[in-house]
Amino acid sequence: DAGVTQSPTHLIKTRGQQVTLRCSPKSGHDTVSWYQQALGQGPQFIFQYYEEEERQRGNFPDRFSGHQFPNYSSELNVNALLLGDSALYLCASSFTLSGWYDDEQFFGPGTRLTVL
Amino acid sequence: AQTVTQSQPEMSVQEAETVTLSCTYDTSESNYYLFWYKQPPSRQMILVIRQEAYKQQNATENRFSVNFQKAAKSFSLKISDSQLGDTAMYFCAFMIKSSGDKLTFGTGTRLAVRP
């Protein structure tokens, strides 16, 4: 079992650019959540995808968008990058059974995004 | 809104000794989960231990145990027989059971285990 994987590991962009981060969930998982972890802070919930739809969303602007594919993998897109978007982006996967949420999330190693 | 507070930014412990990390939370919900996650320098967040709010018995996982005080909204983590591999950031996290698996994290405690 490969666990949760994320790509790329590191990324450097300039202000105003767009970025796409990718996540493959743990085998058997169908739900993907994305978190932003600024330096020295705890992760902040961005949004969650289930059945290819955004199920819930945190307090992030519309510049942050996502997608989930039929194989349950997911992308996080950030448009018009700001310096403040520099952070570690974590993907977590879990399993939802008939609307009953599994309480355990498995995290990937994250993508370190630096915006210059 | 739910909040999680970790008041100890940094802690240090001698190898083989015991250390306790503090966490308090605020919620009006009655049905929720609490977690401690470990984040080593490799960055991968690893679940250490979890507690369901309706269970009065404190959770234990090998050298890790919690002191869950529901009325006080306190959820501390005790690490016994500390090992060098325990050196990491530790995050307390909260999840309302009815809202799915959205986690609310504290700001973390950096634990250093000294040889």
Q: What is the CATH number of the domain that holds B38?
A: 2.60.40.10
Least Cα separation, residue A92 to chain B (angstroms): 9
DSSP structural state of residue B63? T
* Distance in angstroms (rounded) separating the CA atoms of residues A2 and A26: 7
Contact B96, B29 (CB under 8 A): yes
- φ/ψ of A51, rounded to 5, equals 50, 40
* Residue B100 contacts A where some CB pair is shorter than 8 Å: yes
Q: Report the DSSP pairing between strands B32-39 and B104-105.
A: unpaired
* Distance in angstroms (rounded) separating the CA atoms of residues B96 and B74: 16
At A100, is the pLDDT very low, low, confident or very high (cuts 50, 70, 90)?
low
**Rg from Cα positions in chain B:** 14
* Distance in angstroms (rounded) separating the CA atoms of residues A92 and A88: 13
Higher pLDDT, A74 or A102: A74
Pick the closest to residue B94 from B38, B29, B10 (CA basis): B29
Tens digit of each residue's pLDDT (9 = 90 or more) over B27-66: 988 888 999 999 998 888 999 999 988 888 999 999 999 9
Q: Identify the bridge partners of residue A8 per DSSP, sorted by sequence position.
A: none
Tens digit of each residue's pLDDT (9 = 90 or more) over A26-79: 998 999 999 999 998 999 999 999 989 998 999 999 999 999 999 999 999 999
At A103, is the pLDDT very low, low, confident or very high (cuts 50, 70, 90)?
low
- B34: closest chain A residue by CA: A103
Domains of chain A and CATH, by start: 5-115 (2.60.40.10)
Contact B38, B48 (CB under 8 A): yes
Contact B105, B3 (CB under 8 A): no
Tens digit of each residue's pLDDT (9 = 90 or more) over B75-103: 999 999 999 999 999 999 999 877 666 89
Least Cα separation, residue A81 to chain B (angstroms): 23
Least Cα separation, residue A114 to chain B (angstroms): 16
**Cβ pair B107:A42 closer than 8 A:** yes
Residues in chain B: 115
Give me the number of domains chain B comprises. 1
